[in-house]
Amino acid sequence: IGQAFPYTPIANPRYMIPDWSYGIRDDSMQKWVDEARAKGAKVVVVLSHNGINVDLKITSQINNINTIFGSHTHNGVFQPVPVKTPNGGTCLVTNAGSNGKFLGVMDFNVKNGRIVGWKYRLMPVFSNFLPADARMEALINKIRAPYEAKLGEVLAVNEETLYRRGNFNGTWDEVICAALMEVRGADAAFSPGVRWGTSILPGKPITYEQMMDQITLTYPATTLNEFTGAQIKEIMEDVCNNIF
C-alpha cells in the first residue's frame, strides 16, 4: 500500500499542484488494508512518504498494518518503533535515511497466517565497494561528460563539517542562508531543513557539484521581500506546527 505526503500543498508551492488533493485519510487507508486482508494478505506493508512523525501518528489510528517503510524526513532509524494500534495490535515504523546510505532490511517469520517473529537491520551501502553496472555507468558518464569540468570546479576548501541532518541550524543551511543574505542584501533568510545530501569533512574541497547537491530543489527561485515582525513570527510558527 502506498501513501503520499499529506501536506504537500503546505510544504511546496500550492500553485504547482492545483489539481491534487491530499490529507491524512484514515478511512481510505483502513479500506485498502481491509481489502488486502480480505484477499488473503498475511503481511501488510505500507510504503510511505509521510515522514516519520506522521507515520507514527497515522499508525496509531489504523488497524492491521504490520510495518511501515517510511521516507521523506530522511531519518536513519536503526530499530523499528513499535506503535500500538486501536485494536491492540502493533505496527513497526521504520525509516532508512536518505541518499542511499542504508538499505532497510526486514525479515518476517510467518506461520499459520500470522507473524511470529521479525528481524530488522539497516544495511550500510558502501558504493565504492560495489561493482558498477557497465551499461549504466557508461550512460551516466556520457550524460555527465559535457558538464564534468563545471561540476568538478572547486569553489572553496571546507573549514568545518558541512551537514544537513536536523530541522535546525545544519551547517550547510547556515552557509546557504549567509549567502542569501550577502547576495540579496537581506536582514534574514530562511532555508528548508531538508536533511539530505552528503556531508563534507573539514579540509576537503567544496565542488560546484556538491553545492548543487544542496540547492537544486524543484522550486529553486529565491526572492527578496519585506516582512513585518508579526509576519515572520507567523511563518516560523506555521513551520513549527507543520513539523511538530
Q: Per residue, what are the HEC states of 113-124? A: CEEEEEEEEEEE
Report the pLDDT value the prediction gives residue 113, as an integer from 0 to 100: 85
Kindly state whether residues 166 and 113 are assigned to the same domain. Answer: no
Burial class of residue 173 in the structure, from the number of CB atoms within 10 Å of its CB (0-12 exposed, 13-18 middle, 19+ buried): buried
Report the pLDDT value the prediction gives residue 165, as an integer from 0 to 100: 77
Kindly state whether residues 94 and 143 are assigned to the same domain. Answer: no
Low-confidence ranges of the chain (pLDDT < 70): 6-7, 10-11, 21-22
Kindly state whether residues 13 and 89 are assigned to the same domain. Answer: yes
Total domains present in the chain: 2
Domain boundary among 108, 124, 140: 124
Kindly state whether residues 22 and 108 are assigned to the same domain. Answer: yes
Q: Angle, to 10 degrees, between the axis of helix 208-215 and the axis of helix 171-184?
A: 90
**Grid cell for residue 82:** 513499535
Kindly state whether residues 97 and 166 are assigned to the same domain. Answer: no
Residue 205 to residues 152, 159, 176: CA-CA distances in angstroms?
10, 9, 17
What gap in Å lies between CA 212 and CA 29, rounded to an integer? Answer: 37
Report the predicted TM-score, pTM, of the whole model to 2 decimal places. 0.77
Residue 114 to residues 40, 66, 109, 209: CA-CA distances in angstroms?
11, 10, 8, 48
Kindly state whether residues 55 and 95 are assigned to the same domain. Answer: yes
Domain boundary among 124, 152, 172: 124
Residue reference for cell 499529506: 6
CA atoms within 13 A on the CB side of 31: 4
Report the pLDDT value the prediction gives residue 6, as an integer from 0 to 100: 67
Vertex 197: Cα angle to 163 and 142 (nearest 5): 140
What gap in Å lies between CA 242 and CA 59, rounded to an integer? Answer: 18
Kindly state whether residues 9 and 57 are assigned to the same domain. Answer: yes
Kindly state whether residues 16 and 82 are assigned to the same domain. Answer: yes
Kindly state whether residues 107 and 154 are assigned to the same domain. Answer: no
Residue 15's domain comprises 2-124
**Grid cell for residue 9:** 500543498
The CATH number that applies at residue 105 is 3.60.21.10
Kindly state whether residues 86 and 138 are assigned to the same domain. Answer: no
Q: What are phi and psi of 114, to 5 degrees?
A: -140, 155
Report the pLDDT value the prediction gives residue 16, as an integer from 0 to 100: 79
What gap in Å lies between CA 97 and CA 93, rounded to an integer? Answer: 13
Domain boundary among 124, 159, 178: 124
Kindly state whether residues 22 and 107 are assigned to the same domain. Answer: yes
Report the pLDDT value the prediction gives residue 215, as an integer from 0 to 100: 86
Contact 66, 115 (CB under 8 A): yes
What size, in residues, is the chain?
244
Kindly state whether residues 26 and 48 are assigned to the same domain. Answer: yes
Report the pLDDT value the prediction gives residue 210, as an integer from 0 to 100: 93
CA dihedral 55→56→62→68, nearest 10 degrees, is: 50
